[in-house]
Amino acid sequence: MADWLGGWTCCVYQGAYGHRALKATWLYANGVELPSLKWDRPAGDYVRLDRGYHSADERRFKARYEGAIERLSKTQRAATPLPFRDLLLSIARSARREAA
């Protein structure tokens, strides 16, 4: 976590909170209580968020020789795991308490 313009910036993986993909997420906090976060990149196999191909030829080659790569639907990619949502809400609530 780094101090930046009076606040803090960090990157965490939603995969550590239950997302099927790693889903790196940048957070910026200012004037709130800083919670404990899961900092490590979670181990294990995760589903890709992107297509992972630069061309149709590459897609055909990988499908033929490496097998299909599992991908998530748009809704699954956009989803936020409940534990991560709850963490973000706790950060937001701490800002309301300080302002009151």
Encode pLDDT of 28-49 as tens digits.
988 898 889 998 888 887 776 6
Q: How far apart are CA 4 and CA 25, in angstroms?
A: 17
Q: How confident is the model at residue 85 (pLDDT cuts 50, 70, 90)?
A: very high
**Terminus-to-terminus CA distance in the chain, angstroms?**
27
Residue 14: partners with Cβ closer than 8 Å, 6 or more residues away: 21, 22, 23, 24, 25, 80, 81, 84
Structure tokens at 23: 């889903």
Say what the pLDDT of residue 84 is.
96
Q: How confident is the model at residue 99 (pLDDT cuts 50, 70, 90)?
A: very low
Q: How far apart are CA 16 and CA 39, in angstroms?
A: 8
pTM of the model: 0.70
